[in-house]
Structure 1
Amino acid sequence: MTYIIGIDGGGTKTTCLFLKADERAYPKRPLMVKGPGTNPHVVGFEEAGRRLESLIRHGMKTFSLAPQEISGAGMGLAGVGRRDEIEQMVGTMRTIFFNPYFSENLNLYITSDVHAALKGSLAPGIEKGMLLISGTGSNAVGITAAGKVVTCGGWGHLIGDEGSGYHLSLKALSKVAKAADGREEPTQMTSYILRACGLERPEQLIRYLYDRPFEKKEVAALAPCIIEASEQGDKAAVDLLKEAAEELVLHIESLVKQGVDPKAPVSAAGSILTYSQVLRNHVGKLLEDRQFGPLTDPYAPPEYGAALLGRSAGMEKER
């Protein structure tokens, strides 16, 4: 029995899947281990390589797999999308890991995390589709009729990430400030955000937010407060989520303009789309109104997509 390694490498965590080479569906009991983040722009390319090596070795030890049982590896990594980044990461992995532990002939395929996520989201036998992501950040990816992978978004929190947890949280904090001033009506988001920050009064947010620099993920962590308020019918929270839905559907419009079939299904991924029914419902309605494909759940996680891409690349190499 041989296996394909599939890796989903994010900024905060990395998941490693060992998929049987002849497996044609996502396994009911996947062989999987998890480790720290491996975005090379966060931890450096060499450190990312070392972390990936350590995680793969840990997985092989956990599941009693020998090097000769591994026929290939597919890796979808955050921060690795451009050709130069992919080439550098391939070089790093071969230098750190493949010599002498694995044969130099072992197939290695490295791509972006969103490409792997899209591949994993498609059910067996489905080749066309789009993936819409709203988590800490936001972006979308799709496959054209010609098989080209096209993207939208991914500009980061300073100039993009519309419809994301970060973007929503900033807007919610602004709503709280305006409500405290009497510039807008009171909102339940105030009490939820104060509770999440361990504060008693809105004005305490000033020192809380400005006394030290906040990381993107810390700001985005306030998004559940918006979701909670929306579930209680808070108008300000519902309006923010509807605005986010509009922004996210613009990503799908961009993919269609780039050649993706407008009727292709749209898989929803990321914590905000996963946990906010208000957002999901509005995104689904907007897609229907604009005669795009339906909003669906992903078939399988990104690490499965990475393994499939690694297997496909190996098959192409053998031809």
Structure 2
Amino acid sequence: MTVALFTLGGTIAMGGVAKGGDGPGGGAVTRLTGAQLTAAVPGLAELGMPLEVQDTQAVPSASLSFAHLLDLVRDASQAVRRGATGVVVTQGTDTLEETAYLVDLVWPHEAPFVLTGAMRNPTLAGPDGPANLLAAARVAASPAARGLGALAVLNDEIHAARWVRKTHSTSTGTFASPALGPIGQVIEGQVRILATPPGHSSPAIPGADRLTAAGLADTRVALYTVTLDDDGALLEGLADTHQGLVVAGFGVGHVSSALAPVFGALAERIPVVLTSRCGAGSVLRQTYGAVGSERDLLRRGLINAGLLDPYKARILLRLLLAAGVDREAITAAFARHG
């Protein structure tokens, strides 16, 4: 038995500064290999199983694509079929919450898929990468984590992909799950699952194994955040260039009275999903009734995303559209996952 480790780069792997660049003291930050990362982690020898290391996709997390991540899932699936007990992926933290949710929607195995990273790179005092990597490996190797899908493990906390958010730009305690809290912790090296999330349906996207880079490239989903005194000019012509839209509305799912008919007209042409821009809490269904309220927008054909945040709603909608799912099935999917 092994734990498969895939390294994607990010702060956890920033081991030095190359000479001759534009930044202070040099240019691009050099990348540590998976072997170098694991060599810096005390305690891995006591894991009870070796790490099978594969360096892949050496790009900042902001440059990852859906196609990159689906390739990663396929590689990780092969590792599990070869006998890996679980999977660990190291990447930049900027998009870790989105990676985790995308993986969670398409991961077809009981084996845990664990993502981790770091907020302090190895050249700084008190780097958090080694501790995070050790905790992630312990979770990936633990029978307690089986069947939980994709997990984010940082700061000795275990977060379900469905809920995890990056909540601070620099703090080592940035990852949180505002709607639920962590589902577990790593305590004295032991994996403790304290709350089991709703049943993990794998894969949640029909035909996920047949999704292609070309199909994703042909599926464009916009994310639009409403703001005070918003004139909606950026929405003009959107249905001609995109196949779907996620709206991050005020509060429980509200927009201005001027924007309500604009979103309604768009919903007649493409799926439009209604979320909240708050970062926690649900879109409501029937509490408010004014023009631009959640009741009004749902009546106009928008799809309620429930507790799903805008970033994850966009991932779900794009994957559903790329898989060729119809509007009725999209509405059902958001009812199930939101």
TM-score (norm 2): 0.26
TM-score (norm 1): 0.27
* Larger RCO, structure (CA 8 Å, separation 6 or more): 1
